[in-house]
Amino acid sequence: IELERSEMDKTRYENFIKDLKDLKILVCDDNETFRTIIETTLQSFSLNVKTVESGFDAIEELITNNDDPYDLVLMDWNMPELDGIETSKLIKNNKSISKVPIIIMVSAYSRDDLIASAEQAGIDSFLIKPINHSTLFDSIISTMGYSRSVSSNGGKSSHEYDKTNLLQDKRILLVEDNEINQLVATDILESYGVKVDIADNGLKAIEKIKENGANFYNLVLMDLHMPVMDGYKATKELRKEYTEGELIILAMTADAMSGIYEKCIEVGMQDYITKPIDPQKFVLTLSRWLNNNVKNTRYFEKSLSINNRSNIPNFETLNAEISIKKLGGNITLYKKLLSKFYNSYSNFDLEYIKSLKHKEDNEYIRYFHTLKGVSGTIGSDPLYRIARNIETSLLENIELNIDSQLELMKNCLHKIISELQVFLEH
């Protein structure tokens, strides 16, 4: 195969590795084979590596090495006795550990609830197995705060965040029927100078692309579940006329079930972005597709500044801090989303929702799919779980007392709407 010559030559790459050689890394995983593979890979980067097989061993190792502390822990999620999330919580809150290390969670699963639990535990990053040489390297330098870019003066690597705007003046077609998701995606994209067009269903997307030509859009973000024409069918139609080289189409959905990614690839989409949207991952994925030379760039600080934190609204029904963090610290955007959510769901009609079940199309399932996504965005874990349970039961024919779940959903929504009414009035 023909490949382009790498922009980073061997000498500059070796200099970059030298810059990381002092990192001390602890690998915690109960699988001996995986420990061996990761240890060998990390040693190929000339890093100082130690492996342990349990969460208890990891905590003990960190405590006993206070004089020469670890910089980073690669933590498996699924371990017996003490899993990775509980181990990470104990590490983060252990006063006997002089220097709390950066923690990267490693898991074969990418469920939204698992990732949310990892974030709540203070875990700094998340890696999905299987892991290859390149993704592990990129994840380490990104999470540790390095930039992959290298200066030309002697090949010395830069420790500054790469804040180069890689999306400026790109044109993206956002195909999404939900106003809250439209608002989140558009706000993030426009803050990077992206020109955004919106189509609220697959048919309108096809019409816009044919009207303007494939070269008009640098990329298409395609929701999967929409009225009139869903993302799967729209992509199939577009692929009849436009190759993957002519038109980049990325799926954007709240679906995190097994097989969805494969289905997206099968119909002609090229990648997958999950909702609720994580701004850092969102921008990174777009940059990878729009700038082929970009491997990994860190765009957002991981925590809010003290000044911003003091402005975070306090709710009993919503986890505002986690949601704002996922929005890159944008409190103004979060408040806009709350207003949209209030306007959309304040007139909740349970009987109308039940009546959707008898329609021929998938509007009934789509309702819960949409609610799942937006409730995750505004920070309601209970509502997210209820909507997810109903949607999953309908899609996979799992036995569930939907009427009782709908009552729970009604009560949950009522509490959120009541609290938002007071908040928005002030």
Could you tell me the CA-to-CA distances from 397 to 29, 163, 350, 390 in Å, in that order?
35, 47, 22, 10
Of the pLDDT bands very low, low, confident and very high (cuts 50, 70, 90), residue 150 is: very low
Task: Give the per-residue pLDDT at 18.
Answer: 57
Between CA 29 and CA 34 the distance in angstroms is 7
Task: Give the per-residue pLDDT at 415.
Answer: 95
Is pLDDT larger for residue 137 or for residue 63? 63
Residue 74 β-bridge partners: 27, 104
Q: Hey, how many other C-beta atoms are within 10 angstroms of the C-beta on 129?
A: 15
Task: Give the per-residue pLDDT at 161.
Answer: 33
Of the pLDDT bands very low, low, confident and very high (cuts 50, 70, 90), residue 312 is: confident
Please, is 168 exposed, middle or buried when counting C-beta atoms within 10 Å of its C-beta (0-12, 13-18, 19+)?
exposed
Please, is 253 exposed, middle or buried when counting C-beta atoms within 10 Å of its C-beta (0-12, 13-18, 19+)?
buried
Between CA 275 and CA 282 the distance in angstroms is 10
Amino acid in the structure at residue 204: K
* Range with the poorest average pLDDT among 20-34, 125-139, 159-173, 345-359: 159-173
pLDDT of 15-43, one tens digit each? 555 556 678 899 999 988 888 888 988 88
**Are 128 and 258 spatial neighbours (Cβ–Cβ below 8 Å)?**
no
Residue 305 has pLDDT above 60, yes or no: no
* Range with the poorest average pLDDT among 66-75, 188-197, 280-289, 401-410: 280-289
Residue 306 has pLDDT above 70, yes or no: no
pLDDT of 231-249, one tens digit each? 999 999 999 999 988 899 9
Sequence-separated (6 or more) residues with CB below 8 Å from residue 378: 180, 318, 323, 334, 337, 338, 341
Q: What are phi and psi of 62, to 5 degrees?
A: -65, -40
Of the pLDDT bands very low, low, confident and very high (cuts 50, 70, 90), residue 148 is: very low
Q: What is the dihedral of CA 37, 40, 43, 44, to 10 degrees?
A: -100
Tokens 């003046």: give the residue. 169
pLDDT of 337-363, one tens digit each? 999 999 999 988 888 888 888 776 678
Between CA 354 and CA 356 the distance in angstroms is 5
Between CA 251 and CA 135 the distance in angstroms is 21
pTM score, two decimals? 0.56
Cα angle: 354, vertex 355, 360; to 5 degrees:
120
Is pLDDT larger for residue 80 or for residue 14? 80
Please, is 260 exposed, middle or buried when counting C-beta atoms within 10 Å of its C-beta (0-12, 13-18, 19+)?
middle
Task: Give the per-residue pLDDT at 61.
Answer: 94
Residue 155 has pLDDT above 70, yes or no: no
